[in-house]
Structure 1
Amino acid sequence: MATVTDKSRVLVVDDEPQITRVLRTVLSSQGYQVRTAAEGDAALSNLAEWHPELVITDLFMPHMNGIELCRRIRAVSNVPIIVLSVKGEERTKVEALDSGADDYVTKPFGADELLARVRAALRRGTSAEAGSFELGDFKIDLDARRVHVRGNEIRLTPKEFDLFVYMARHPSRVLTHRTLLEAVWGEGSQEQPEYLRVFMGQLRKKLEADPSNPRYLVTEPWIGYRFNPAG
């Protein structure tokens, strides 16, 4: 049986040759197929031609930065994206996540940390979950990774879908910030609370009639969130 590492295609985008060499070595040693691109246009060409299952991109590159690349990728694909950057400020992380990134790794990082993030990002594409289910105003298709609200299909990014499905599997329950972060982003992610804030905001914009007064994705102050499927 194949694992998430078996022949998974990973596109690495960075304008520093020494970084791409290191990442290629680390990823190839774990069984991943790796291609590299030095700038955004080359990355988009590889995306269209090679159909990678994961994109890892630097944030600061000439001609097209990682933020713009995330936006361009999200316009045509739901492939998971991990952003790498020397900047660890919350504002920069939020901007990257808002632009479509699924995860953010601050340089310098260890090989084990990066590989854990890669496995988590790829896991969504190899999930054994199948079928669909209906809940209140929602129909969720796990095979096609689609969500319908009151009959209308809503396009979600990979992490938006993962977060929403986890909440939908626990309707009307109060889910703590820590529970949601670890369920969707993995262990250690509780140190990245901005992830949850950004993605919850994005889900509300897509699923709620009035995102400022949510009926489905309800905040439990100082604790977490609750999914109310009937609104």
Structure 2
Amino acid sequence: MGTRVLVVEDEPVINQAVAERLVAEGFDVRQAYDGPTAVDVAETWEPDALVLDVMLPGFDGHEVCRRVQARRPVPVLMLTARDDETDVLVGLGVGADDYLTKPFSMRELVARVRVLLRRVERAAELFRGETGDLRVGDLHIDRSGRRVRVAASDVHLTPTEFDLLARLAAEPGTVLSREDLMRDVWGWSDPAAARTGTRTVDSHVRSLRAKIGAGRVRTVHGVGYALEHAPGETSPR
């Protein structure tokens, strides 16, 4: 059997089209049309990835994502009807890894699903054997325990946010391009293809800033991002 993907979409035409394309690409697919059914199927079938619409009957995709991720980490591609920053940040904050705005091409959707699955493998490779803690000022990253603390407070990060922060923290002060981050964190190997996903990086950085402090991640316009000491902290010499 192929890799398991659960498609959750209340519009039957879209749901069926997505499911058929994924099956044609070799995936093992199940479908759900509302929030409660999606959670039940995810619990019993244990999919490898979710394609999840935000607007659903019963309860919305954000709640589905929250409940599924509370049981086990699953890569989630969220589908949004509009490119609304608030919807996107809420989705990323509850554990979605990526998002697509409707209308979308099936080719792009399949590519994003494959990237999500590669990201899980890539994260394991990226941090394999790297169990030491990372510290940037009062930001403490426990790589083996996958925990983050700012000053004396624990910070809850999604798996993707943690991997992104750990990659930035491995080279504090160094500007990493969006393409670098797409390659190292998400697993995009094609530089041209990676450029189509750079908005995902930007959205995750916004979500990360909201949790660890906006001043810690510096934007270099037209280039990328660097992790810095918080404003007012002094870098050790």
CA drift of 1:121 comes to 0.8
Change (3 A) 1:182 1:132: closer
- Structure 2 match to 1:139: 142
Change (3 A) 1:199 1:182: farther
- Structure 1 match to 2:2: 7
- Structure 1 match to 2:103: 108
Contact 2:169–2:227 at 8 Å: present in 1 too? no
- Structure 1 match to 2:169: 168
Distance 1:171 1:32 in 2: 39
Distance 1:121 1:148 in 2: 23
Residue type matched to 2:106 in 1?
Answer: A
CA drift of 1:178 comes to 6.0
Contact 1:87–1:106 at 8 Å: present in 2 too? yes
Q: What aligned pairs does 1:119-158 form with structure 2 within 5 A after superposition?
A: 119-127=114-122, 129=125, 130-134=128-132, 135-136=134-135, 137-141=140-144, 146-147=146-147, 156-158=157-159
Contact 1:70–1:99 at 8 Å: present in 2 too? yes
Distance 2:217 2:168 in 1: 11
How many residue pairs align between the two structures?
213
Contact 1:177–1:225 at 8 Å: present in 2 too? no
How high is the TM-score relative to the length of structure 1?
A: 0.76
Q: Which runs of 5+ in 1 are unaligned?
A: 1-5, 205-210
Match of 2:93 among 98, 106, 110: 98
Change (3 A) 1:146 1:7: farther
Residue type matched to 1:131 in 2?
Answer: G
Q: Which runs of 5+ in 2 are unaligned?
A: 187-193, 230-234
- Structure 2 match to 1:58: 53
Contact 1:182–1:190 at 8 Å: present in 2 too? no
Structure 1 range deviating more: 161-170 or 79-88: 161-170
- Structure 2 match to 1:190: 198
Q: Secondary structure at the match of 2:143?
A: strand
Contact 1:182–1:189 at 8 Å: present in 2 too? no
How high is the TM-score relative to the length of structure 2?
A: 0.75
Q: Secondary structure at the match of 1:26?
A: helix
CA drift of 1:45 comes to 1.0
- Structure 2 match to 1:219: 218
Where do 4+ consecutive residues of structure 1 move more than 6 Å?
Answer: none
Distance 1:101 1:113 in 2: 17
Structure 1 range deviating more: 77-86 or 112-121: 77-86
CA drift of 1:221 comes to 6.6
In angstroms, what is the RMSD of aligned CA positions?
3.1
Contact 2:173–2:226 at 8 Å: present in 1 too? no
Identity score, percent: 33
Structure 1 range deviating more: 95-104 or 7-16: 95-104
Structure 1 range deviating more: 66-75 or 185-194: 185-194
The structure with the largest helix share of the pair is 2
Structure 1 range deviating more: 95-104 or 79-88: 95-104
Residue type matched to 1:21 in 2?
Answer: Q
Residue type matched to 1:173 in 2?
Answer: T
Match of 1:199 among 197, 200, 208: 208
